[in-house]
RNA sequence: GCGGGAGUAGCUCAGUUGGUUAGAGCGUCUGUUUGUGGCACAGAAGGCCGUGGGUUCAAGUCCCAUCUCUCGCCCCA
């Protein structure tokens, strides 16, 4: 029995060409969020299992978390998300941090479940969080940052939709306006979450099954359907529209619209699961039908830092998964062809390995990325290898070059070939790289 | 955890109602001589047909089981 070469189920190998894509995506994200003043942090991949039990549903922790006992008998988990960790970090230094905090990270996360399109067991997730601002300027900023990331990749507004809702609004709607008890409200909320996946009649049947006969007689299902069909906050019943959370939501939408973010809209069917969100929630969807998934989700979670026994801190943030982001970029042809960072491939001709070291070192000292071919290969093969590696320049070093201190530089894309000094070569390559950038 | 689809060369796949030594394209390697690649030509390597059992004179092909991958469901941090 031989060893497998395939990676662990639901996890990916990143060969250099794939790692380049990931680096490009993460570098673009980092650059964008840093424009807004966000700073990178990180934390261990292992956390005490308790950290997740405190705020997440039983099923998620028990069945979808990699959890085990360490050698000291402590129950630990591989982090399935970053939000509890960052809340822990903030709580630990609650008194000494300078608010507002603008923090981001790109951790790898693990969840134990069956892989499917857009969802693997290991993925990387951009986490962007803003701590310490209570008002809607935080909502406006965090959604603007999310939007800026998509714009930084060259996405058009028609390619993605930003959907907003309010958890407080939905709580009021289900318990006060429709008069459902907690269990019913929870079940209906889950149903709403996936209503776009089912037929209307199917939704009605399932909704009726959740409600009591009396509620059905009183037309609660019809009232639910009516309210779920609305497209703007203006259509909400007057009593609901006057809620502070709705006024705030309208204000955020107005600010976004004035900022040119025209693809942000109210969506009363947006639920965002059932976890720690306390007020506004939002998601970004791919408008491409083949990738009809939430790529990014977030919202306000004012209560999480307080779980660590300190005064709560108002917080809003979002997460953006690398798998769904890459699917998005691919389906909209937004992934550039990213070159190897190696700029020159040195082809040695003849017995010059030792004497070629000096010019090679000088090139590196001047900042070029230089790979040297294996000795003893024919020059034609060395061209082939350089081409296959995607390196555009081959530098030929033989007896002749070393004697004259003029080296043969060949652009294997154009086929042009000339002899130059090392300084001239550096300048040619640097100019070429600038012109060749994405 | 539940369901659909698929496993044949490194990759993408063909393989007739079961019938001799298993096929193509791409890729890899070698050569068409000596410091010039891509193109072309010639050649080579590379398969327990996912694994185990069964039916049959005969199984890549049919049946059962199992494993893996994949798409969905559940769930979604």
Range among A6-20, A151-165, A174-188 with highest mean pLDDT value: A151-165
A188 and A215 in contact (C-beta within 8 Å)? no
Using pLDDT thresholds of 50, 70 and 90, give the confidence band for residue A62. low
H or E segment and range at residue A208:
helix A200-210
Nucleotide with minimal C1' distance from the CA of A397 is B35
Provide the positions of strand B that have an atom within 7 A of a protein CB.
1-3, 28, 30, 34-38, 68-77
Write down the pLDDT at residue A200. Answer: 84
Write down the pLDDT at residue A2. Answer: 57
Using pLDDT thresholds of 50, 70 and 90, give the confidence band for residue A433. low
Using pLDDT thresholds of 50, 70 and 90, give the confidence band for residue A438. very low
User: Can you give the distance from the CA of residue A340 to the C1' of nucleotide B25 in angstroms?
Assistant: 28
Nucleotide with minimal C1' distance from the CA of A392 is B37
Range among A61-65, A209-213, A262-266, A334-338 with highest mean pLDDT value: A262-266
Q: Per the structure block, which two tokens stand in for A246? A: 């709705």
A385 and A425 in contact (C-beta within 8 Å)? no
pTM of the model: 0.91
Beta-sheet strands, E only, within A88-138: 101-105, 108-110, 122-131
Write down the pLDDT at residue A337. Answer: 83
Nucleic strand B within 7 A of Cβ A71: no
Distance CA A104, CA A241 (A): 34
Distance CA A268, CA A165 (A): 6
Distance CA A252, CA A240 (A): 17
Residue A228: phi and psi, rounded to 5, are -75, -15
Q: Where do the H-state alpha helices sit in A36-135? A: 50-53, 58-64, 83-92
Which residues of chain A (334-373) touch nucleic strand B at CB < 7 A? 349-350
Q: Which residues contact A267 (CB under 8 A, 6 or more apart)?
A: A163, A164, A165
Nucleotide with minimal C1' distance from the CA of A4 is B68
Q: Per the structure block, which two tokens stand in for A31? A: 């650059």
Nucleotide with minimal C1' distance from the CA of A66 is B77
Q: Which residues contact A245 (CB under 8 A, 6 or more apart)?
A: A166, A168, A169, A172, A279, A280
User: If you average pLDDT over residues A21-31, what whole number do you get?
Assistant: 95
User: If you average pLDDT over residues A315-319, what whole number do you get?
Assistant: 95
User: If you average pLDDT over residues A137-165, what whole number do you get?
Assistant: 96
Fill in the DSSP letter of residue A226. H
Mean pLDDT of chain A: 90
Could you report the predicted ipTM of this complex, rounded to two decimals? 0.86
Which residues of chain A (126-185) touch nucleic strand B at CB < 7 A? none
Q: Which residues contact A377 (CB under 8 A, 6 or more apart)?
A: A347, A385
- What is the layout of strands, in order, in the sheet containing A344-348? A370-372, A344-348, A393-397, A407-411, A417-420
User: Can you give the distance from the CA of residue A63 to the C1' of nucleotide B1 in angstroms?
Assistant: 10
Nucleic strand B within 7 A of Cβ A274: yes
Percentage above 90 pLDDT, chain A: 64
Distance CA A117, CA A327 (A): 9
Write down the pLDDT at residue A55. Answer: 64
Write down the pLDDT at residue A274. Answer: 63
Nucleic strand B within 7 A of Cβ A389: no
User: If you average pLDDT over residues A106-114, what whole number do you get?
Assistant: 91
Please give the protein residue whose CA is closest to the C1' of the nucleotide B36: A380
């Amino acid at each position: 029995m031989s060893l497998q070469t395939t990676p662990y189920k639901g996890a990916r190998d990143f060969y250099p060409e794939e790692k380049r894509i990931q680096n490009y995506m993460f570098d673009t994200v980092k650059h964008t969020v840093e424009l807004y003043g966000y700073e990178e942090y990180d934390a261990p991949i292992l956390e005490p299992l308790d950290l997740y039990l405190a705020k997440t549903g039983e099923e998620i922790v028990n069945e979808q978390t990699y959890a085990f006992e360490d050698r000291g008998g402590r129950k630990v988990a591989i982090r399935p998300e970053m939000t509890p960790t960052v809340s822990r970090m903030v709580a630990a230094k609650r008194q000494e941090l300078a608010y507002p905090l603008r923090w981001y990270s790109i951790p790898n996360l693990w969840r134990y479940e069956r892989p499917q399109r857009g969802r693997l067991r290991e993925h990387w997730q951009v986490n962007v969080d803003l701590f310490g601002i209570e008002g809607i300027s935080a909502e406006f900023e965090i959604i603007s940052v999310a939007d800026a990331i998509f714009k930084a990749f060259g996405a058009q507004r028609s390619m993605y939709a930003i959907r907003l809702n309010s958890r407080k609004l939905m709580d009021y709607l289900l318990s006060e306006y429709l008069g459902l008890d907690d269990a019913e409200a929870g079940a209906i909320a889950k149903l709403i979450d996936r209503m776009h996946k089912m037929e209307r009649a199917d939704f009605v049947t399932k909704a009726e099954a959740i409600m009591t006969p009396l509620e059905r007689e009183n037309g609660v299902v019809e009232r639910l359907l009516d309210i779920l069909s609305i497209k703007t906050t203006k259509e909400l019943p007057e009593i609901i529209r006057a809620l502070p959370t709705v006024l705030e939501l309208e204000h955020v939408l107005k600010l976004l619209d004035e900022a040119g973010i025209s693809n942000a809209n109210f969506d009363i069917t947006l639920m965002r699961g059932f976890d720690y969100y306390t007020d506004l929630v939002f998601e970004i969807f791919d408008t491409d039908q083949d990738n009809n998934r939430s790529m990014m989700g977030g919202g306000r979670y004012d209560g999480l830092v307080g779980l660590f026994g300190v005064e709560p801190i108002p917080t809003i943030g979002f997460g953006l998964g690398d798998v769904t982001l890459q699917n998005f970029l691919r389906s909209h042809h937004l992934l550039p062809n990213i070159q190897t960072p190696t700029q020159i491939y040195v082809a040695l001709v003849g017995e010059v390995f030792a004497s070629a070291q000096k010019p090679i070192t000088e090139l590196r000292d001047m900042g070029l990325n230089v790979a040297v071919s294996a000795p003893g290969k024919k020059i034609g093969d060395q061209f082939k290898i350089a081409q296959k590696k995607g390196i555009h320049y081959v530098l030929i070093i033989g007896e002749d070059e070393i004697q004259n201190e003029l080296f043969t530089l060949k652009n294997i894309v154009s086929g042009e070939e000339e002899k130059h000094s090392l300084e001239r070569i550096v300048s040619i390559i640097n100019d070429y790289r600038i012109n060749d950038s994405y």
